[in-house]
A and B are shown apart, each in its own frame.
Chain A
Amino acid sequence: MYRIISKTELAEYTVQFDIEAPEVAKKARPGQFVVVRIDEKGERIPLTIADTDTGKGTVTIVVQSVGKTTGQLCSMEAGGTIRDFAGPLGNPTEMVENSTVVCIGGGLGIAPVYPIAKELKSRGNRVLSIMGARSEPFLFWEDRMRKASDEVYIATDDGSKGKKGFVTDALLDIINSGVKVDRVIAIGPTIMMKNVAKTTKPYNIKTIVSLNPIMVDGTGMCGSCRVTVGGKMKFSCVDGPEFDGHEVDFDELMARQKFYRTEEKDAMDKYTHEGGECKCLPTRS
């Protein structure tokens, strides 16, 4: 059992939890994730480690309510317990030195990109961050991102905060301003990562993306998380989750993310029908 030490509502449909998991906290590196199972009947879902506090032995996760399991998790309170919390899983982000790196967090992606930006900056790199969201109420951790970056750019689809437009527009602004960008790290919705990779391709800027296929074990045992990278089959949980964005077959990934759409809806219907409270993000592509 893993105890929820604190809960903070960060933004629309987005909740931060600090979970007591000292073994995970000790070993976690930026880019890694945990697999969480809420209770005996729960499914295993991957969530990125957004921060750690080794002193307190806690791991920070940020959860966006998009379905049954994340909805149930978001309705939990401090003092509650989570049945299973396994990790850290996946490969840590590859670190660089003396480089200019653009870190892009789209929507919920701000949470996983934050520890990467923080580590890059602490190693003396120049970190330019782009935070993107559909509109202002979905943005969070601006203060943290400012501390972890040399500069922060904000883009919202509706222009309610920062510049109106997509993160790719902000990225192009940076590139066109003449800054020599050595590397881009983009985390967010798959379509956003695809577009970022498309944007950087003509400029030949190395672009790392963190993939989010459907996972079960997270240890390389099931193959559910397989993706095609550079024409080869890779298991995201053990070979990734970060890959070269110019090599990823994003369309295949997006198709595979819809594998259980019907069942996911049934699970949600049953949950709300039984009085489960779920104010889930009303977006389903």
Chain B
Amino acid sequence: MPADEVIDRRKHVPVREQEPSERVGNFDEVSYGYNEEEAMKEAKRCLNCKTPLCIDGCPVGVDIPKFVTEIAKGEFDEAIKTIKDKNNLPAICGRVCPQESQCEKLCTLGMKWKPLFIGKLERFAADHEKSDVKPELPEWNGKKVAVVGSGPAGLTAAADLAKMGYKVVIFEALHTPGGVLIYGIPEFRLPKSIVEKEVEYVKSLGVEIRLNEIVGRTITIDEMFGQGFSAVFIGSGAGLPSFMRIPGENLNGVYSANEYLTRVNLMKAYQFPEFDTPVKKSKNIAVIGGGNVAMDAARTAKRMGADHVYLIYRRGEEEMPARREETEHAKEEGIEFKLLMNPTRIIGDDNGWVKGIECIHMRLCEPDESGRCRPEPVQGSEEILDVDTVVVAIGTSPNPLIVKTTPGLETSKDGTLVVDGYTFMTSREGVFAGGDIVSGAATVISAMGQAKEAAVAIDEYIKSKE
């Protein structure tokens, strides 16, 4: 470091982004990320705390000060090794982790100034990686583990178990691995090439991925044990979309967010008719919900050319569960927030097509058990918005298929799998689970955190049986 270089710890190095007016016309990534110079400059803000609280905020325990210091010194290959020691999917986490409520939330710098941009640095290290840094693999220990689903939970459990010497086979229902990372989160936020690269890394550890195999249909969990798998990890996510149960939801023009995003992302409907899967090009569209999923659907609709994209949410902006960065990006892109409004019915024309949505205004009252304000309708305040498309993004729940076809799997009342808090073993011996199937719709990194703990427990379980 040049002796005369002054480090200003108060401000973070800003991240370059595509201009809003330009980016609403394409599906390219919004954020460009740091270059070497910017990354080193930002990394130097780190205080290298004796008690690095940031690590406590990371569900997988990445050694943040270590990798940040390595970036500061220009030792980029070292930095990515440090990260990958704990996190198998850094290019993804650096992009989609809700850092502001995790690692960055606890960063000491943030007490007085802006926290260190840990996520952006993690993304830099991952993107910078030239030749894939691959850990040395132990000899095969003779045991096989089956993993259900190739989302972040499944990929993480598989990678960790492979690193311990297991032969791992992932069974994935869809034709592309990645789970929500590939079918849900849009290209402009998480380029599919990044997901592919991380999947290739997991495969390079010797993990086999069998696509188009639906567990419960193509093969059951009981059959897996019959085929010599010593344990099974279920990472099947929470992919069953909820609807509002209001009149008009089956009209043409009404989508679940999962369907809308799957058509556009996984099936590449934004390139129709070059790709065969169609999606409606809407003029005016209403997206219902206030989470990341709603933001993604709204911003996708804008890129598909909609004139007006309304985001209808029944609470206020403060209460929105979406990441701050996403709501800011959405506003910059011209998404029209309709806050404190709740849909009451979808109105159709004579041919069964959506022509409007009726909403009622809401008022916030006493905070409920979740600490958020419970909204109440304001009598007689109904209003109709002219829209031709409605996307419902009010949540998802676990798909019951695996439970239906696996005797002895205990579930909670919302359909999630009940697991032991330490080992992540389900009520069936040798069957473990983690990610959204256990916690309900949550985050990429929490799915990975659970999968990591489950992988350790699976190893202990299999060894204890020898």
Contact = CB atoms under 8 A, between A and B. Distances in A.
A221 B258 contact: yes
A270 B272 CA distance: 11
A219 B399 contact: yes
Contact of A220 (B213, B239, B243, B263): B239
Nearest to A259: B252
A252 B352 contact: yes
Contact of A222 (B252, B258, B352, B401): B258
Given A84-B175, A219-B399, A221-B262, A267 B256 contact: no
A230 to B, nearest CB: 14
Nearest to B267: A43
Contacts of B18: none
A263 B239 CA distance: 27
Contact of A217 (B174, B243, B278): B174
A216 B262 contact: yes
B260 to A, nearest CB: 9
A84 B259 CA distance: 19
Contacts of B239: 219-221
Contacts, number: 123
A39 B311 CA distance: 35
Contact of A223 (B217, B259, B275): B259
A247 interface: no
B267 A216 contact: yes
Given A43-B277, A87-B218, A88-B218, A221 B240 contact: yes
A255 B248 CA distance: 13
A270 B273 contact: yes
Contacts of A267: 272-273, 276, 278
Contacts of A69: 276
Interface size class of A (residues with CB under 8 A): 35 or more
Contact of A23 (B173, B218, B280): B218
Interface in B243-282: 243, 245, 249-250, 252-253, 255-256, 258-259, 262-263, 267-268, 272-278, 280
A255 B348 CA distance: 12
A219 B214 contact: yes
Q: Which of B174, B217, B241, B351 has the most CB of A within 10 A?
A: B217
A134 interface: no
A86 interface: yes
A219 B352 contact: no
Contacts of A83: 175
A27 B218 contact: yes
Nearest to A228: B250
- Which of A83, A86, A88, A89 is the most central at the interface, judged by chain B CB atoms within 10 Å of its CB? A86
B219 interface: yes
Contacts of A146: none
A91 B404 CA distance: 11
Contacts of B258: 221-223
Interface string A238-253: 1000000000000010
Nearest to A232: B245
Contacts of A88: 217-218
B212 interface: yes
B175 A221 contact: no
B267 A86 contact: no
B392 to A, nearest CB: 8
A182 to B, nearest CB: 27
A86 B259 contact: no
Contacts of B262: 216-217, 221-222
A27 B219 CA distance: 8
A68 interface: yes
Contacts of A87: 212, 214, 217-218
Mostly, the B contact residues are: loop
Contacts of A270: 273
A266 B218 contact: no
A129 to B, nearest CB: 28
A216 B174 contact: no
A227 to B, nearest CB: 8
Interface string A197-226: 000000000000000000011011111101
Nearest to B275: A41
A241 to B, nearest CB: 13
Nearest to B210: A23
A226 B250 contact: yes
A7 interface: no
Contact of A263 (B183, B211, B268, B272): B272
Contacts of A180: none
A84 B211 contact: yes
A221 B174 CA distance: 10
A41 B175 contact: no
B385 to A, nearest CB: 21
A223 B399 CA distance: 12
A136 to B, nearest CB: 33
A238 B385 CA distance: 33
B266 to A, nearest CB: 9
Nearest to B271: A41
Given A23-B219, A256-B250, A223 B214 contact: no
B353 to A, nearest CB: 9
A175 to B, nearest CB: 33
Nearest to B399: A220
Contacts of A266: 273
A252 B173 CA distance: 29
B1 to A, nearest CB: 49
Given A219-B214, A223-B259, A238-B401, A86 B173 contact: yes
A42 interface: yes
A263 B276 CA distance: 9
B272 to A, nearest CB: 7
A4 interface: no
5 contacts: A37-B175, A44-B267, A86-B174, A219-B399, A222-B262
Interface of A: 23-24, 27, 37, 41-44, 68-69, 83-89, 216-217, 219-224, 226-228, 233, 238, 252, 255-256, 258-260, 263-264, 266-267, 270
Q: Which 4 A-B pairs have the closest CB atoms?
A: A263-B278, A255-B352, A86-B212, A222-B259
